[in-house]
Amino acid sequence: MKFAIPVFPGSNCDYDLLNALRDCLHTPADLVPATTTDLSGYDAVILPGGFSYGDYLRSGAIARFAPVMTAVKEFANAGKPVMGICNGFQILTEAGLLPGALQANESSKFICQVSPLHVSNTQTRFTTAYARHQDIKLPIAHGEGNYYCDAATLAELKAHNQIVFEYVDNPNGSVANIAGIVNRRGNVLGMMPHPERAVETILGSVDGLGIFDSLLMNHVQGDAHVENR
């Protein structure tokens, strides 16, 4: 299973992700520039964290116009797995691949800490390696992680089991403690916590491995059994 990691001007978690995939998971992965228009050689795309285009206007608001995003949309529309971590999640909402938006944290402060989370849905292709309702700890590091959606969207997310990760202590004011969601089809995941920073004991947690293990396992088994239609 080969991963593409689009790199935007200002991405700063791209090498963490490359390390997680190549060195810890032993799976092929390439950094690809934001000008790339062809993702046909890849099985999955993960948008990394950072500050794309300086996060001017709003996080992800400029990145969504990068040429690679046209290819990412085609990739997602073909049902292939796409994931966005932190700034990647912000880009996915701005691009319309996931509902809702990420606002400034309620405290207006940048938050950098390890956060306890519930895995709320273990039936997605990103989370089958976790136990049902497993409690995990992942690092968070963001200024705009306060997930917002309107009441109708929240009802849709709940009705279709699209809330995948929830904060235990809601550090940023997110609606319904939301830390990560999938799209209705189940092939696009966005999450504010950083699983790629929790893949080795020396990092203090290996709780992020479950996401990458799930992707690899479900790719081998054929992703169709975890499609949410």
d(CA 49, CA 88): 5
Q: How far is the CB of 190 from ligand GLN (least distance, A)?
A: 11
74 is catalytic: no
List the structure tokens of 105. Answer: 């944290």
190 backbone dihedrals φ, ψ, rounded to 5°: -125, 135
Q: How far is the CB of 41 from ligand GLN (least distance, A)?
A: 26
The residue among 50 and 180 lying less far from ligand GLN, judged by its C-beta, is 50
Q: How many beta carbons lie within 10 A of that of residue 194, not counting itself?
A: 25
Residue 43's SS3 state is: coil
86 is catalytic: yes
The residue among 61 and 217 lying less far from ligand GLN, judged by its C-beta, is 61
The residue among 71 and 86 lying less far from ligand GLN, judged by its C-beta, is 86
Q: How far is the CB of 229 from ligand GLN (least distance, A)?
A: 31
Selected catalytic residue, list 94, 118, 144, 194:
194
Q: How far is the CB of 113 from ligand GLN (least distance, A)?
A: 12
Residue 85's SS3 state is: strand
Selected catalytic residue, list 86, 94, 142, 149:
86
Selected catalytic residue, list 94, 144, 166, 196:
196
194 is catalytic: yes
The residue among 141 and 175 lying less far from ligand GLN, judged by its C-beta, is 141
Q: List the 111-119 sheet strands across, edge first.
A: 29-33, 3-7, 44-47, 82-85, 188-191, 178-182, 163-167, 111-119, 135-142
The residue among 141 and 176 lying less far from ligand GLN, judged by its C-beta, is 141
Q: How far is the CB of 143 from ligand GLN (least distance, A)?
A: 4
d(CA 148, CA 160): 17
Q: Are 179 and 167 in contact (CB under 8 A)?
A: yes
The amino acid occupying position 161 is N
Q: Look at residues 168, 200, 178, 199 and name the one whose alpha carbon lies nearest to residue 89.
A: 178
Q: Which residues bind ligand GLN (CB under 6 A)?
A: 13, 49-51, 55, 59, 86-87, 141-145
Instruction: List, by residue number, the catalytic residues.
Output: 86, 194, 196
